[in-house]
Chain A
Amino acid sequence: METGIGLYIHIPFCRQKCAYCDFYSVLAQPGAIDRYLNSLAAEMRLQGQGQLISTVFLGGGTPSLLTARQISTVLDGVSRYFLLAKDAEISMEANPETLLNTDLAAYRVAGINRLSLGVQVLDNDLLPHLGRRHTAQDALTIITRAQAAGFTNLSCDLIYGIPGQTMVGWQHDLQTITARGLPHLSLYCLEVHDETPLGQAINSGKMQLPDPDLAADMYDWAREFLPQQGLVQYEISNFSRPGFECRHNLIYWHNDEYLGLGPAACSYRSGVRACNVADMDTYACLVQSGQRPVGSSECLDVRGSAAETVILGLRLMSGVDAHKFVQRFGVTLEDVFGDTITDLLQRGWLVSTEKGYALSAHMVPLANVVFRCFLTDTNT
């Protein structure tokens, strides 16, 4: 496998904003997508210098609002301005309802080889709480069709901790989905952001979050159940059959380099984290006039980079790789975090692995407690 960088392409269009979502997206107006694809090509021209790309991830927004032909245009651009590895993983996020009247095989032909479906929950009473437009049946239909179209590398997103969701409902969803034999699942605890419609509904008392202990129980149950179905937990929120881990996301957790294209997309290159402007018009204007559409950037010091490497690495069940750490920073993990590591090992919050250190199983749901130990005080 060649080692290249990851390429994230943001498709900032939605038919309707989900109630919990705080990502940047706009409503898809006629013609807007084609205009956007022009801007995207302009940004590729600016950023592309033939870099080797080992993974492409089309995220959103709702990438599945693009037709197979439009996807093909995007990927043609990637091939033109970058060096796309032959075995590249090319993922696309999709909302079930957008694919009901499409030929899924056409997306495979266009180059997509991994599909990530936003199923969220298989309960038609809960889906509207999330502002989703599909039904449970839509989701299951699309899973069947995707498998039929040859998407062996297929993943589903599921959400737990939804207002009104029960343990029984959660167990039923996981059982139904695993029965379909998908090789990958992402399970997300509902995060409530104040500025989203869901956040406002909860803050105003119109809706009530379930007991946090119920969400903890749901997570625990999944962590026990999924491995029995052959889906191994490889990251805090991700489970897969061995070999089906999302290679693109592994780049993030290995703290390796990636390039993000599109408004609000972020990049990490040469120690600099940069994010594009989160506004479609500004973005278009900048790239069309030949300027990089960067809105904010942050250059991390070595200590900050080291802390991020550890925190991201510990999200993986395999843990943070001590050998790679030395290669990267020229010092050992113990040189930088010796006292913290000793303390955490003593408390039983970390375990030593062959390659380095990992969260002990009982600390996975409490990962933030460990992560905070690796951060320096902001005001000292």
Chain B
Amino acid sequence: MQQNIRNFCIIAHIDHGKSTLADQLIQTTGTLSQREMVDQVLDNMDLERERGITIKLQTVRLLYQAADGQEYVLNLIDTPGHVDFSYEVSRSLAACEGALLVVDAAQGIEAQTLANVYLALEHNLAIIPVINKIDLPAADPERVKREIEDVIGIDAENAILCSAKEGIGIVEILERIVTEVPPPSGNPEAPLRALIFDSIYDDYRGVITYLRVVDGTLAPGIKIRMMATGAEFEVDDVGIFTPSQTPLPELTAGQVGYMAASIKNVKDTRVGDTITLAKGGAKEPLPGYKQIMPMVYCGLYPIDTVQYEDLRTALEKLQLNDASLVFEPETSDALGFGFRCGFLGLLHMEVVQERLEREYGLDLITTAPNTVYQVTLNDGSVRKVDNPSDLPPAGSIAELAEPYVKASIIVPSEFIGNMMELCKDKRGNFVNMDYLDSNRVVLIYELPLSEILYDFYDQLKSRSKGYASLDYEIIGYRPSDLERLDILINGEVLDALSTIVHKDRAYSKGKALVQKLRRIIPRQMFDVPVQAAIGNKVIARETVKALRKDVLAKCYGGDISRKRKLLEKQKEGKKRMKQVGNVEIPQEAFMAVLKVDE
């Protein structure tokens, strides 16, 4: 049985056709009939389908009658397609023995693909190169083959030429999975060890854990223990994905499936953790478990204070399904009661915000995101600061450090200059540059994560006409010359607008920010000074001049109702602004930090 299992995943850049290929594999093997197919079966959150990204992992078991006459179980494990989720990618790769490397025949390798294929090589996965979209007029499979060989260093001579859209090459892919991906090697007789690679929350059954049984057997009734968290449960139900959950009496070594065990909280089933028996379990967990920490924080505040409890409930519900989302209550002088929320990265943050607004109907003010800073105080103690307004006074800080990333940028060589300029603007240190072929290069830079949080990606795209692709990994904290930039409106610090900036940037950033705020803040009944300050020193100032005129010229018989309604609407609009001291501040001011051009 174990000999006839193949566990594999698909590595591909966004838009290189991963989902279409997965759909073809599902259809060709007859796993789902035409009627049951929804386009792109694997991305099943609306948001995922809309944005073409994978957030929650999906898994599907394909039954395949191979040319050798035997039937094989092919488990396709989906991988998330975004740098925010690279830890999840590494765990789902660890659950596989092989990977399809899908590369667009016209575009070639992109940065995200490169990062993931290196991860797959680290896990000793068998890699089957697939060159997709060969039906496109611009397809150049030979060039892409050479690129795969030169850049990744694997043999691409036998790369499968495929068009997932046209159904070309699908059978060859299935055959090659059978012949080239080794069967799982675990020991069915050893004590249970199963790798958790994802989990979802089900309202009726609690947490459903997605796992790969490495050794031993998992069956209902067994008492299990999570080796990292120590939590113990009794298994209710196990099964496989067809792709809907289908119960089985047991899951044995090599199999991929799900488990329900009346687990109330996803925090108890951490991705990468090992499941073993509560009694007589394995001595050693499977390698690679890490507790992942949020790197990006922002404040989320309900626009209408009555939605505060709704926001808490919604965050709790999302957290059931998303162990990497953290939040705690926070109070802002300017915005009132809200939550400080931590995310894996920017995309993760955007997805959570969008789901809160869309699925839970909340109206939110989001403060500008920031990274977690590491502060060493004069007394030698070290603490993490996830909110700029919590930064201790400059005099008490011995050292301030911020997270750095190693970024790989793949770009046509004509844009090298633009990319280098951008990275330099963003305080990057050049590490290395390699030619992928005669006209594409990979640039390696070390950059502060905080610089990537702002408009880095947009800039990257616009300065490369959309050709550049980016991947990055966090490489640790480095001391930086940082300080807190405060914004004062009418003499009062607006805590929600405080940011931590590099000393060399403080002046230009402060100036740009106050200019932007002067345009956003409506004129009031008096002059409103808008100042940027470092400590007690004001470094930039603008004034929102007092309102001179606000009067409806005409109000005759036919106008009265209309004009009254207009005034009522204006009053309503003002209510949606935040009153800070005497000044009414519109919501967009709180996001201004994100969109300033220095």
Contacts and interface: CB of A to CB of B under 8 A. Distances in A.
A213 B550 CA distance: 11
Contact of A311 (B556, B557, B564, B575): B564
B138 interface: no
Interface stretch (A35-43, A80-88, A121-129, A257-265): A257-265
Interface in B529-563: 545, 547-558, 560-561
B568 interface: yes
Given A191-B554, A266-B557, A366-B548, 17 more contacts: A8-B557, A8-B558, A23-B558, A191-B552, A212-B548, A212-B549, A213-B548, A237-B553, A249-B556, A252-B556, A258-B557, A315-B555, A365-B550, A366-B549, A369-B547, A372-B567, A375-B564
Given A308-B564, A311-B564, A368 B551 contact: yes
A369 B552 CA distance: 11
A375 to B, nearest CB: 5
Given A268-B560, A315-B555, A216 B548 contact: yes
Contacts of B567: 311, 368, 371-372, 375
Given A377-B571, A378-B572, A188 B549 contact: no
B244 interface: no
Contacts of A213: 545, 548-549
Contacts of A375: 564, 567-568, 571
Contacts, number: 99
Nearest to A159: B553
B381 interface: no
A216 B553 contact: no
Contacts of A23: 558
B550 A265 contact: no
B570 interface: yes
A312 B557 contact: no
A350 interface: no
Given A215-B549, A216-B548, A377-B572, A237 B554 contact: yes
11 contacts: A188-B554, A219-B549, A237-B553, A252-B556, A252-B560, A312-B555, A372-B567, A372-B570, A372-B571, A375-B571, A377-B572
Return the 5 tightest CB-CB contacts between A and B, nearest first. Answer: A216-B548, A216-B549, A188-B553, A266-B558, A367-B551
- Max count, chain A CB within 10 A of own CB: residue among B556, B569, B572: B556
Given A368-B570, A369-B525, A298 B550 contact: no
Sorting the interface of chain A by its residue count into under 10, 10 to 19, 20 to 34 or 35 or more gives: 35 or more
Nearest to A211: B548
Contact of A298 (B547, B554, B561, B572): B561
A99 interface: no
Nearest to B569: A378
B551 A366 contact: yes
Given A366-B547, A377-B575, A191 B553 contact: yes
A298 to B, nearest CB: 6
Contact of B560 (A216, A308, A366): A308
A265 B556 CA distance: 11
B557 A189 contact: no
A25 B48 CA distance: 51
Contacts of B568: 375, 378
B550 A367 contact: yes
A275 interface: yes
A253 B574 CA distance: 26
Contacts of B574: 372
B interface: dominant SS:
loop
A241 interface: no
A264 B558 contact: yes
Interface string A225-252: 0000000000011000000000001001
Contact of A260 (B547, B549, B557, B570): B557
Given A372-B567, A375-B564, A379-B572, A268 B557 contact: yes
Contacts of A275: 558, 561
A258 B547 CA distance: 35
A312 B125 CA distance: 80
A307 B558 CA distance: 17
A377 B568 CA distance: 7
Interface string A252-285: 1100001010001111100001010000000000
Contacts of B556: 249, 252
A197 interface: no
Interface in B555-591: 555-558, 560-561, 564, 567-572, 574-575
A68 interface: no
A369 B564 CA distance: 13
Contacts of B550: 365-369
A371 B570 CA distance: 11
Contacts of A191: 552-554
Contacts of A365: 548-551
A237 B552 CA distance: 9
A6 interface: yes
A332 B557 CA distance: 25
Contacts of B549: 189, 212-213, 215-216, 219, 365-366
A341 interface: no
Contacts of B571: 372, 375, 377-378
Contacts of A312: 555, 560
Given A236-B551, A372-B567, A378-B572, A6 B557 contact: yes
Contacts of B555: 236, 252-253, 312, 315
A78 interface: no
Contacts of B572: 377-379
Given A371-B567, A378-B568, A364 B551 contact: yes
B557 A252 contact: yes
A346 to B, nearest CB: 14
Interface in A182-213: 187-189, 191, 212-213
A308 B568 CA distance: 12
Nearest to B556: A252
A236 B553 CA distance: 7
B534 to A, nearest CB: 33
Contact of A273 (B525, B551, B561): B561
A377 B554 CA distance: 23
Nearest to B564: A308
A268 B557 CA distance: 8
A370 B434 CA distance: 67
A267 B556 CA distance: 11
A34 to B, nearest CB: 25
A256 to B, nearest CB: 11
Interface string A284-312: 00000000000000100000000110011
A315 B560 CA distance: 12
A189 B553 contact: yes
Contacts of B547: 366, 369
Contacts of A273: 560-561
Interface string B80-116: 0000000000000000000000000000000000000
A260 B558 CA distance: 9
Interface in A305-323: 307-308, 311-312, 315
B154 to A, nearest CB: 55
